[in-house]
Amino acid sequence: MTTHLSSEPASVSLLTTSQMRKEQWFLATLRRLVRNLSGIVGLLLVTFFLLTGVLGSLGITPYPSVEQHPRDRLQAPSAKYLLGTDLFGRDLASRIMEGAGNSLQVALLSVAVSASVGIIIGMIAGFTGGGIDTMLMRLMDVLFAFPALLLALIVITVRGPGLVNTALAIAIVYMPIFARVARAPVLVAKELDYVLAARCIGMKPAQLLIRHILPNVIAPLIVQISLALSWSLLTEAGLSFLGLGTPPPAASWGLMLSESRGIAERAPWLMLYPGIAILLGVLGFNLLGDGLRDTLDPRLYKSK
Protein backbone atom coordinates (compact mmCIF):
# COMPACT_ATOMS: atom_id res chain seq x y z
CA MET A 1 0.00 0.00 0.00
CA THR A 2 1.51 3.30 -1.14
CA THR A 3 1.11 6.44 0.92
CA HIS A 4 1.36 9.89 -0.72
CA LEU A 5 2.74 12.55 1.55
CA SER A 6 2.03 16.20 0.72
CA SER A 7 3.65 19.34 2.05
CA GLU A 8 0.40 21.30 1.59
CA PRO A 9 -0.97 20.66 5.11
CA ALA A 10 2.34 21.80 6.62
CA SER A 11 2.35 25.01 4.58
CA VAL A 12 -1.29 25.66 5.46
CA SER A 13 -0.47 25.05 9.12
CA LEU A 14 2.44 27.49 8.98
CA LEU A 15 0.26 30.11 7.28
CA THR A 16 -2.47 29.64 9.88
CA THR A 17 0.07 29.97 12.70
CA SER A 18 1.46 33.17 11.16
CA GLN A 19 -2.03 34.63 10.83
CA MET A 20 -2.85 33.71 14.43
CA ARG A 21 0.32 35.40 15.67
CA LYS A 22 -0.53 38.56 13.75
CA GLU A 23 -4.07 38.57 15.13
CA GLN A 24 -2.80 37.99 18.67
CA TRP A 25 -0.29 40.82 18.29
CA PHE A 26 -2.99 43.16 16.96
CA LEU A 27 -5.44 42.30 19.77
CA ALA A 28 -2.73 42.67 22.43
CA THR A 29 -1.70 46.03 20.98
CA LEU A 30 -5.33 47.19 20.89
CA ARG A 31 -5.84 46.17 24.54
CA ARG A 32 -2.76 48.13 25.61
CA LEU A 33 -3.92 51.14 23.60
CA VAL A 34 -7.36 51.07 25.23
CA ARG A 35 -5.73 51.07 28.67
CA ASN A 36 -3.66 54.12 27.70
CA LEU A 37 -5.55 57.35 28.51
CA SER A 38 -3.79 59.47 25.87
CA GLY A 39 -4.28 56.78 23.27
CA ILE A 40 -7.99 56.28 23.87
CA VAL A 41 -8.75 60.03 23.98
CA GLY A 42 -6.73 60.53 20.79
CA LEU A 43 -8.45 57.60 19.12
CA LEU A 44 -11.89 59.02 19.95
CA LEU A 45 -10.96 62.48 18.65
CA VAL A 46 -9.44 61.06 15.47
CA THR A 47 -12.49 58.84 14.89
CA PHE A 48 -14.79 61.85 15.29
CA PHE A 49 -12.61 63.87 12.91
CA LEU A 50 -12.59 61.07 10.32
CA LEU A 51 -16.37 60.63 10.47
CA THR A 52 -16.90 64.39 10.14
CA GLY A 53 -14.46 64.59 7.25
CA VAL A 54 -16.05 61.68 5.39
CA LEU A 55 -19.55 63.17 5.80
CA GLY A 56 -18.25 66.57 4.66
CA SER A 57 -16.54 65.06 1.60
CA LEU A 58 -19.74 63.24 0.65
CA GLY A 59 -21.79 66.42 1.03
CA ILE A 60 -23.86 65.03 3.92
CA THR A 61 -24.11 68.38 5.72
CA PRO A 62 -27.02 70.41 7.18
CA TYR A 63 -26.83 72.76 4.17
CA PRO A 64 -24.76 72.89 0.99
CA SER A 65 -21.49 74.48 2.09
CA VAL A 66 -21.57 77.16 -0.64
CA GLU A 67 -25.29 77.92 -0.36
CA GLN A 68 -25.83 81.56 0.63
CA HIS A 69 -28.71 82.86 2.73
CA PRO A 70 -28.47 86.65 2.38
CA ARG A 71 -31.22 87.30 4.93
CA ASP A 72 -29.40 85.25 7.56
CA ARG A 73 -25.97 86.81 7.32
CA LEU A 74 -23.89 86.74 10.54
CA GLN A 75 -26.52 84.85 12.48
CA ALA A 76 -25.40 83.65 15.90
CA PRO A 77 -25.59 79.92 16.69
CA SER A 78 -29.22 78.81 16.91
CA ALA A 79 -31.48 75.82 16.31
CA LYS A 80 -31.59 76.66 12.59
CA TYR A 81 -27.84 77.22 12.24
CA LEU A 82 -26.06 75.21 14.92
CA LEU A 83 -22.79 77.12 14.64
CA GLY A 84 -24.14 80.31 13.09
CA THR A 85 -23.56 81.77 9.62
CA ASP A 86 -20.78 83.77 7.99
CA LEU A 87 -20.71 87.09 6.15
CA PHE A 88 -22.42 85.56 3.10
CA GLY A 89 -25.07 83.68 5.07
CA ARG A 90 -23.39 80.29 4.61
CA ASP A 91 -23.92 77.71 7.34
CA LEU A 92 -20.76 77.51 9.44
CA ALA A 93 -21.33 73.92 10.60
CA SER A 94 -21.60 72.73 6.99
CA ARG A 95 -18.41 74.57 6.02
CA ILE A 96 -16.52 73.18 9.01
CA MET A 97 -17.59 69.66 7.97
CA GLU A 98 -16.46 70.26 4.39
CA GLY A 99 -13.26 71.82 5.71
CA ALA A 100 -12.64 68.64 7.72
CA GLY A 101 -13.00 66.61 4.53
CA ASN A 102 -10.57 68.84 2.61
CA SER A 103 -8.08 68.81 5.49
CA LEU A 104 -8.40 65.03 5.70
CA GLN A 105 -7.67 64.63 1.98
CA VAL A 106 -4.62 66.89 2.18
CA ALA A 107 -3.33 65.16 5.32
CA LEU A 108 -3.75 61.62 4.01
CA LEU A 109 -2.32 62.40 0.57
CA SER A 110 0.66 64.36 1.89
CA VAL A 111 1.55 61.81 4.58
CA ALA A 112 1.12 58.90 2.15
CA VAL A 113 3.58 60.49 -0.29
CA SER A 114 6.08 61.71 2.30
CA ALA A 115 6.01 58.43 4.24
CA SER A 116 6.36 56.23 1.15
CA VAL A 117 9.23 58.16 -0.40
CA GLY A 118 10.92 59.03 2.90
CA ILE A 119 10.83 55.46 4.23
CA ILE A 120 12.25 54.07 0.98
CA ILE A 121 15.06 56.63 0.99
CA GLY A 122 15.85 56.05 4.67
CA MET A 123 15.87 52.26 4.39
CA ILE A 124 18.06 52.28 1.27
CA ALA A 125 20.48 54.74 2.86
CA GLY A 126 20.73 52.79 6.12
CA PHE A 127 21.04 49.39 4.42
CA THR A 128 23.60 50.27 1.75
CA GLY A 129 25.73 52.74 3.72
CA GLY A 130 28.83 54.31 2.21
CA GLY A 131 28.55 56.95 -0.48
CA ILE A 132 24.88 56.28 -1.24
CA ASP A 133 23.99 56.81 2.41
CA THR A 134 25.96 60.04 2.53
CA MET A 135 24.46 61.40 -0.70
CA LEU A 136 20.84 60.59 0.19
CA MET A 137 21.02 61.88 3.74
CA ARG A 138 22.81 65.10 2.75
CA LEU A 139 19.97 65.71 0.28
CA MET A 140 17.49 65.18 3.10
CA ASP A 141 19.52 67.55 5.28
CA VAL A 142 19.23 70.27 2.63
CA LEU A 143 15.44 69.94 2.64
CA PHE A 144 15.39 69.71 6.44
CA ALA A 145 17.40 72.93 6.76
CA PHE A 146 14.56 75.00 5.27
CA PRO A 147 11.84 76.16 7.67
CA ALA A 148 8.77 73.99 7.01
CA LEU A 149 6.38 76.80 6.15
CA LEU A 150 8.95 78.57 3.95
CA LEU A 151 9.68 75.43 1.94
CA ALA A 152 5.95 74.81 1.49
CA LEU A 153 5.50 78.40 0.33
CA ILE A 154 8.26 77.96 -2.26
CA VAL A 155 6.64 74.81 -3.67
CA ILE A 156 3.17 76.37 -3.84
CA THR A 157 4.55 79.56 -5.39
CA VAL A 158 6.12 77.47 -8.16
CA ARG A 159 3.16 75.13 -8.75
CA GLY A 160 0.26 77.37 -7.67
CA PRO A 161 -2.38 76.93 -4.94
CA GLY A 162 -4.74 74.00 -4.84
CA LEU A 163 -5.51 70.89 -2.81
CA VAL A 164 -3.08 68.58 -4.65
CA ASN A 165 -0.27 71.15 -4.73
CA THR A 166 -0.78 71.84 -1.02
CA ALA A 167 -0.48 68.12 -0.29
CA LEU A 168 2.66 67.89 -2.45
CA ALA A 169 4.25 70.85 -0.67
CA ILE A 170 3.56 69.33 2.75
CA ALA A 171 4.87 65.95 1.56
CA ILE A 172 8.20 67.49 0.51
CA VAL A 173 8.46 69.27 3.85
CA TYR A 174 8.05 66.12 5.96
CA MET A 175 9.86 63.63 3.72
CA PRO A 176 13.27 64.12 5.47
CA ILE A 177 11.72 63.32 8.85
CA PHE A 178 10.51 59.92 7.64
CA ALA A 179 13.88 59.25 6.01
CA ARG A 180 15.69 59.88 9.30
CA VAL A 181 13.21 57.86 11.36
CA ALA A 182 13.48 54.90 8.96
CA ARG A 183 17.28 55.00 8.62
CA ALA A 184 18.21 54.85 12.30
CA PRO A 185 16.63 51.44 13.17
CA VAL A 186 17.76 49.97 9.83
CA LEU A 187 21.39 50.60 10.86
CA VAL A 188 20.78 48.38 13.90
CA ALA A 189 18.50 45.79 12.28
CA LYS A 190 20.87 45.00 9.38
CA GLU A 191 23.50 43.75 11.85
CA LEU A 192 21.19 41.26 13.58
CA ASP A 193 22.20 37.59 13.35
CA TYR A 194 19.23 36.35 11.34
CA VAL A 195 19.65 39.20 8.82
CA LEU A 196 23.34 38.35 8.40
CA ALA A 197 22.40 34.68 8.00
CA ALA A 198 19.85 35.55 5.30
CA ARG A 199 22.51 37.55 3.45
CA CYS A 200 24.92 34.62 3.64
CA ILE A 201 22.46 32.27 1.93
CA GLY A 202 22.07 34.74 -0.93
CA MET A 203 18.79 36.51 -0.18
CA LYS A 204 18.38 39.60 -2.36
CA PRO A 205 18.59 43.05 -0.71
CA ALA A 206 14.99 43.91 -1.62
CA GLN A 207 13.75 40.70 0.05
CA LEU A 208 15.88 41.38 3.11
CA LEU A 209 14.46 44.88 3.49
CA ILE A 210 10.84 43.83 3.07
CA ARG A 211 10.76 40.49 4.89
CA HIS A 212 13.28 40.93 7.71
CA ILE A 213 14.14 44.58 8.30
CA LEU A 214 10.86 46.43 7.69
CA PRO A 215 8.95 44.49 10.42
CA ASN A 216 11.58 45.64 12.93
CA VAL A 217 11.22 49.33 12.07
CA ILE A 218 7.46 49.51 11.51
CA ALA A 219 6.57 50.50 15.10
CA PRO A 220 8.34 53.90 15.17
CA LEU A 221 7.09 54.58 11.64
CA ILE A 222 3.46 54.05 12.70
CA VAL A 223 3.94 56.57 15.49
CA GLN A 224 5.62 59.00 13.10
CA ILE A 225 2.73 58.72 10.62
CA SER A 226 0.24 59.62 13.34
CA LEU A 227 2.27 62.66 14.38
CA ALA A 228 2.82 63.70 10.75
CA LEU A 229 -0.95 63.75 10.21
CA SER A 230 -1.29 66.35 12.97
CA TRP A 231 1.55 68.44 11.52
CA SER A 232 0.02 68.30 8.05
CA LEU A 233 -3.32 69.52 9.41
CA LEU A 234 -1.62 72.46 11.06
CA THR A 235 0.51 73.25 8.00
CA GLU A 236 -2.51 73.09 5.69
CA ALA A 237 -4.42 75.46 7.97
CA GLY A 238 -1.47 77.86 8.00
CA LEU A 239 -1.15 77.83 4.20
CA SER A 240 -4.89 78.33 3.77
CA PHE A 241 -4.79 81.21 6.26
CA LEU A 242 -2.22 82.87 3.99
CA GLY A 243 -4.41 82.22 0.94
CA LEU A 244 -2.10 79.54 -0.51
CA GLY A 245 -4.01 76.41 0.46
CA THR A 246 -7.44 75.19 -0.59
CA PRO A 247 -8.85 77.91 -2.90
CA PRO A 248 -12.30 79.44 -2.27
CA PRO A 249 -15.21 78.87 -2.44
CA ALA A 250 -14.17 75.46 -1.08
CA ALA A 251 -14.12 75.41 2.71
CA SER A 252 -10.87 75.35 4.66
CA TRP A 253 -10.39 75.92 8.37
CA GLY A 254 -7.42 78.22 7.88
CA LEU A 255 -9.22 80.22 5.19
CA MET A 256 -12.27 80.57 7.45
CA LEU A 257 -10.06 82.02 10.17
CA SER A 258 -8.51 84.43 7.70
CA GLU A 259 -11.87 85.62 6.34
CA SER A 260 -13.25 86.28 9.83
CA ARG A 261 -10.40 88.45 11.13
CA GLY A 262 -12.07 91.75 10.27
CA ILE A 263 -15.39 90.92 11.93
CA ALA A 264 -14.18 88.87 14.89
CA GLU A 265 -15.61 91.33 17.43
CA ARG A 266 -19.03 91.34 15.77
CA ALA A 267 -19.19 87.59 15.06
CA PRO A 268 -16.70 85.80 17.34
CA TRP A 269 -18.09 82.36 16.47
CA LEU A 270 -16.56 82.66 13.02
CA MET A 271 -13.08 82.37 14.56
CA LEU A 272 -14.00 80.29 17.60
CA TYR A 273 -15.38 77.17 15.92
CA PRO A 274 -12.79 76.75 13.13
CA GLY A 275 -10.09 77.33 15.75
CA ILE A 276 -11.59 74.64 17.99
CA ALA A 277 -11.77 72.28 14.99
CA ILE A 278 -8.06 72.78 14.26
CA LEU A 279 -7.21 72.34 17.94
CA LEU A 280 -9.15 69.09 18.32
CA GLY A 281 -7.84 67.64 15.07
CA VAL A 282 -4.20 68.32 15.89
CA LEU A 283 -4.66 67.29 19.53
CA GLY A 284 -6.32 64.02 18.54
CA PHE A 285 -3.49 62.88 16.26
CA ASN A 286 -0.85 64.00 18.78
CA LEU A 287 -2.49 62.08 21.64
CA LEU A 288 -2.94 59.04 19.42
CA GLY A 289 0.73 59.23 18.46
CA ASP A 290 1.75 59.40 22.13
CA GLY A 291 -0.50 56.45 22.93
CA LEU A 292 0.89 54.39 20.06
CA ARG A 293 4.45 55.22 21.11
CA ASP A 294 3.78 53.93 24.63
CA THR A 295 1.87 50.92 23.31
CA LEU A 296 4.36 49.79 20.67
CA ASP A 297 7.50 50.32 22.76
CA PRO A 298 8.37 46.87 24.18
CA ARG A 299 10.51 48.40 26.91
CA LEU A 300 7.41 50.01 28.37
CA TYR A 301 4.76 47.31 28.16
CA LYS A 302 7.03 44.37 29.01
CA SER A 303 7.98 45.99 32.28
CA LYS A 304 4.34 46.31 33.37
CB-based contact 273:83 (threshold 8 Å): yes
Q: Does residue 1 lie in a domain region?
A: no
Tally of domains within the chain: 1
The CATH number for 160's domain is 1.10.3720.10
Q: Are 69 and 90 in contact (CB under 8 A)?
A: yes
The answer to whether residue 71 is domain-embedded is: no
Please say whether the beta carbons of 78 and 111 come within 8 A: no
Instruction: Tell me whether residue 18 is in a domain.
Output: no
DSSP structure class, residue 209? I
Interval 16-74: pLDDT, tens: 554 555 566 566 666 777 777 888 898 899 999 999 999 998 989 999 988 888 888 88
Is 165 contained in some domain?
Answer: yes
**Would you give the DSSP letter of residue 79?**
S
Residue 221 lies in a domain: yes
Is the four-CA dihedral 195, 196, 197, 202 of positive or negative sign? positive
Residue 255: closest CA among 119, 112, 106: 106
Q: Say what the pTM is.
A: 0.81
140-191 residue pLDDT tens = 988 888 777 788 888 888 887 788 888 888 898 889 999 998 888 888 888 7
Decide: 102 and 160 in contact? Cβ < 8 Å.
Answer: no
Instruction: State whether residue 260 is helix, strand or coil.
Output: coil
Tell me, yes or no, whether 50 lies in a domain.
yes
pLDDT at 230 over 60: yes
Domain housing 215:
33-66+82-301
- Does residue 140 sit within a domain? yes
Does residue 24 lie within any of the structural domains? no
